[in-house]
Structure 1
Amino acid sequence: MRLSASGAELASLLPAHPPGGRVLLGITGAPGAGKSTLAAYLAAAHAGVVVPMDGFHLADVELVRRGLLDRKGAPETFDGWGYAALLARLRARPDHVVMAPAFERDLEQPLAGALPVPPTAELVVTEGNYLLLDDPCWRAARDSLDAVWHVETPAAVRVPRLVARHEDFGKSPAAARAWVHRVDEPNAALVDAARHRADLVLDLAGWAASFPG
């Protein structure tokens, strides 16, 4: 289903959590589509927790070892199986705090044990580009989710946003544009090609100013 909804309407779209259980919602979309800000909005509105896929970036030292540093952000530069294992733990809702990794943008590195998910959290929102890819590790991740929403934002909004983001974290304007063209946009095409597997396709075109990341 494709939908353009206001923030107030999103609550009615969330899956209902079973008694004693919790809802795990995945949000996917192309780089710069607004996943992170939408996830934060939903978690704040519903006393939830955000666990981003970005915490499972491989460290630069490992990307160098594999010859993948110049493709950082592509599917093969993540620990997909580790991500799937964490989602399975969260799905089980153990009676203790589960610590999840984060991604530190100032360092451009994952940060272990940075995000606590308490057993009381009834909503966990996880956002990342590749939740709908038809590969074993991503299918395993998807199996733990109650629903996956794919968000769409026009390229005319996304691309300048991505260039500005890369500039903010140290790239020159020319290097930022080159990275978006060479890495981010091919990844965007891969993500968009899988949107037919989403439970909901959410059009964020009208929210471009409200959802900048």
Structure 2
Amino acid sequence: MKGCFLVFEGPEGAGKSLQIARLAARLSASGVPHTVTREPGGTAAAEAIRSVLLDRPELHLDGVAEVLLFSASRRVHVDEVIRPVLGRGEVVLSDRFELSTRVYQGWARGVPPETIEQVTRAATGGLVPDLYIVLDVPVMVGTDRREAHGGRPDRIEREAEVFMERVREGYRELAAGEDGIAILDGSGTPDEVEARILALLEERFPGRFRGANFPL
């Protein structure tokens, strides 16, 4: 069976990690081979780059520098994790991919689309996810969720509200023009959001995940 590459996206606090974990649990219970990964990260080199990008708020990195660092991480992530899993006909569940770069560094930071496209093509070798699932929540909802979980915000999460509004706008605008990007309401209870995701997967990939109601 052909591998399936699913990417969860959205603004900060959208609930991506929780929903990835829930879907992974369902796949495990149904015997569907899969790998959960994240960006930046997924390999030793990529995790080291993640630390520079997110864990060092004192560092000044402009949008182009971020594009280059995220793309370097993506290069090894694709080569060492994503392509091998897809080559085995399995499912990849990734917390972010190149859409994040187009939104955060392109739409919100103003890096020209042609710059991002050129660097991304070199990083991914043209690999495109089968589907981007974007969980959309108002900025203040995402902020409240992050604060409720505690912990220090990372370098990106420290950005001002106006930046986060541009991020949300970017996702919505790009989704409007690309069939491979699906926007889902990320508000409500985790069960409600999960039900929307399962319905979307059954619509886009009939039978691939053994139906929307495969049991835990």
TM range, smaller chain = 0.5 to 0.7
Which of 131, 149, 153 is residue 132 of structure 2 equivalent to? 149
Distance 2:142 2:4 in 1: 29
The equivalent of 1:125 in structure 2 is 93
Shift of 1:209: 3.7
Q: Deviations over 1:73-127 (max 9, x none)?
A: x95484323213322443442xxxxxxxxxxxxxxxxxxxxxxx7x968111112
Which of 7, 19, 38 is residue 52 of structure 1 equivalent to? 38
Q: Deviations over 1:136-193 (max 9, x none)?
A: 344544932441323233305323213434xx1146xxxxx97452654443334443
SS in 2 for 1:46: helix
Indicate how the Cα distance of structure 1 residues 161 and 149 shifts in structure 2: closer, same or farther if over 3 A, else same. same
Distance 2:171 2:66 in 1: 10
The question of whether the paired residues in 2 share the 8 Å contact of 1:163 and 1:180 is answered with no
Relative to the length of structure 1, the TM-score reads 0.54
Indicate how the Cα distance of structure 1 residues 148 and 65 shifts in structure 2: closer, same or farther if over 3 A, else same. same
Unmatched tracts of structure 1, length 5 or more: 1-16, 94-116, 172-176
The question of whether the paired residues in 2 share the 8 Å contact of 1:32 and 1:158 is answered with yes
The total of aligned residue pairs comes to: 161
Relative to the length of structure 2, the TM-score reads 0.54
Distance 1:189 1:63 in 2: 26
Q: Where does 1:28-67 land on structure 2 (aligned, <5 Å)?
A: 28-47=9-28, 48-55=34-41, 56=46, 57-60=49-52, 67=60
Structure ranking higher in helix proportion: 2
Unmatched tracts of structure 2, length 5 or more: 29-33, 103-112, 195-216
Amino acid across the alignment from 2:141: V
The question of whether the paired residues in 2 share the 8 Å contact of 1:131 and 1:141 is answered with no
Amino acid across the alignment from 1:33: A
SS in 2 for 1:59: helix
Amino acid across the alignment from 2:134: V
RMSD value, Cα: 4.2
The farther-off stretch of 203-212 and 39-48 is 203-212
